[in-house]
Amino acid sequence: MSKAKRIVRAAAKVAAGAAVLAALGFVERSGNSAPVRDIQVEMQAAGDMHFTDADALRQEVANGAGPVIGTPMDNVDEAAMEQRLRAIPCVAEADVYHTMDGVLHVRVRQREPIVRIVNADGSGFYIDREGWTMPLDPNYTARVLVVTGQLAEPFAACAPVNVAAGNDSLVLHSHSRAIHAMATTLGQDPFWNALFTQADLDAEGNITLIPAVGLMRVRIGDGTRLQQRLAKLRLFYEQGIPQADWRKYDAVDLRFDDQVVCSKRPKN
């Protein structure tokens, strides 16, 4: 092959590559300038949690800062949309992105509360699985462990706080961390999770578990060493109750090492 032909062929390859790059750049530019024609929402929620739904999230994205449908893709502030979605109390994570076909995709993970705290004054809030507080919803109530009693937890009307990891004085001087740890432990065992639907906390911070069936309340102290105390309780249920009439007792106390103390029900 002559030198001239080699030069011509090399020039042709360079021109072809430039044409491909130019075409790709045109496709990207035209894709970014294409109008939004649809919004697709994918929502991840645990169990039967229904604090929000895909339609409500779609409306938030479509009209949150002005109409989105018909807006060129490169004029859509996806980061701002994510921030607005994450500001919704029940939203844990949000991701917004677009594809070349004019579709705006929204992926949202909903928070999963595991315990509801009801203060003595009637105010309340949830704590989710990761330890974040979240407000109650006027339209939906999650079926989770409910903790009542002599409580004045300060998180009912404030911004979300992680009571499991936070070290500020508000968290350290509250009972919410111990309550979250207790709810986490109970939720990890299907038997305890189904048995205990409510707990009561007294002025000294001692917790009493209230079973969904039966009349015996279970005193567990301040919530420390809960795994060991529940192991004693399981053994008592398996070996102690069949040997006695458990209806004679109104409470089981697990606060003492190597002991299960039962108190008899007062006679009518």
Q: Which segment of 93-97, 157-161, 222-226, 237-241 scores lowest on mean pLDDT?
A: 237-241
Nearest 5 degrees, angle CA 125-CA 127-CA 129? 155
12 pLDDT above the threshold of 50:
no
Position 213 pLDDT exceeds 50: yes
Q: Is the pLDDT of residue 8 over 80?
A: no
- The residue-averaged pLDDT of 104-118 equals 96
Reported residue count of the chain is 268
> 93: Cβ–Cβ under 8 A, 6 or more apart, which residues?
86, 107, 108, 109
Q: What percent of the chain has pLDDT over 70?
A: 84
C-alpha–C-alpha distance, residues 42 and 233, integer Å: 42
Which class is 38-110 in CATH? alpha beta
Of 14-23, 155-164, 165-174, 211-220, which one has max mean pLDDT? 155-164
Q: Of 3-7, 126-130, 160-164, where does mean pLDDT reach its minimum?
A: 3-7
Are domains 38-110 and 113-264 of this chain identical in fold?
no
Among 32-41, 90-99, 198-207, the range scoring the smallest mean pLDDT is 32-41
pLDDT tens figures, 147-200: 999 999 999 988 899 999 978 888 888 999 999 999 999 999 999 999 999 999
- The predicted structure's pLDDT at residue 2: 57
Tell me: pLDDT of 21 over 50: no
Q: Stretch 252-261: mean pLDDT, rounded?
A: 84
**Model-level pTM greater than 0.85?**
no
**177 to 107, 129, 180, 181, 254: CA distances (angstroms):** 30, 12, 5, 6, 21
Nearest residue to 117 (alpha-carbon basis) of 128, 103, 105? 128
Q: What architecture is domain 113-264?
A: 3-Layer(aba) Sandwich (3.40)
Domain boundaries, the chain: 38-110, 113-264
Instruction: Give residue-wise pLDDT tens across range 58-87.
Output: 999 988 767 889 989 888 899 999 999 999
> Cβ of 41: how many Cβ atoms within 10 Å?
19
The model's confidence at residue 32, banded by pLDDT at 50, 70 and 90, is: low
Indicate the pLDDT class of residue 268, thresholds 50, 70 and 90.
low
* CA dist., res. 223 & res. 256, Å (int): 13
